[in-house]
Amino acid sequence: MNANKDLLETSIIIDTGVLVELLENSELGKLFFKHFLENPQFERYYISPITDTELKYIFCRRNGYQQAKKIVSDFLKDFIISSESKLRDDAFRLKCNFPISLADSYSLAVAIVLTIPICMKKENEILNIIEKLSAEVKIMFIDDYR
């Protein structure tokens, strides 16, 4: 099997919203765990560097700096954080062309650069432009696994 096909079939990018659900052990988090983390098809889980920062920020507001840093760093030890320098041009282009958050533009850029699917939560910001984004990247919504 060639490396690109192997990466495509065994890897996924995970957006911040999905990871928050997972950390909070919500219904969507449990669905993600069951359908992706327990699924032997998936061997590699990628995130953007902005996702790392965003998760720490979200949990810092709730638990303070030191605890958030420890919780998130421990949680992300098995995830691959993509190099920011390789994502800049695609993240910039996406942010320039679509009314989406910078964090979403970076997560989507990982999917574009690696040509692998991304798992996100359904949010209007993405749903409003899904047809245009779908021309560039395969988006899987965790909400669809209910």
pLDDT at position 45, please?
97
Report whether pLDDT(122) > 60. Answer: yes
146 residue type, one letter: R
pTM over 0.95: no
Q: Are 18 and 142 in contact (CB under 8 A)?
A: yes
Number of domain units in the chain: 1
What residue numbers bound the domain in which 28 lies?
3-143
Residue 24: give its domain's CATH number.
3.40.50.1010
| Predicted pLDDT at 146 | 86
Contact present, 126 and 100 (Cβ < 8 Å): yes
What confidence tens digit (pLDDT) does each residue in 37-82 have?
999 999 999 999 999 999 999 999 999 999 999 999 999 999 999 9
The structure tokens listed for 74 are 């421990």
pLDDT (0 to 100) of residue 72 = 95
Residues 77-89 have a mean pLDDT of 95
Neighbouring-strand partners of residue 118: 13, 139
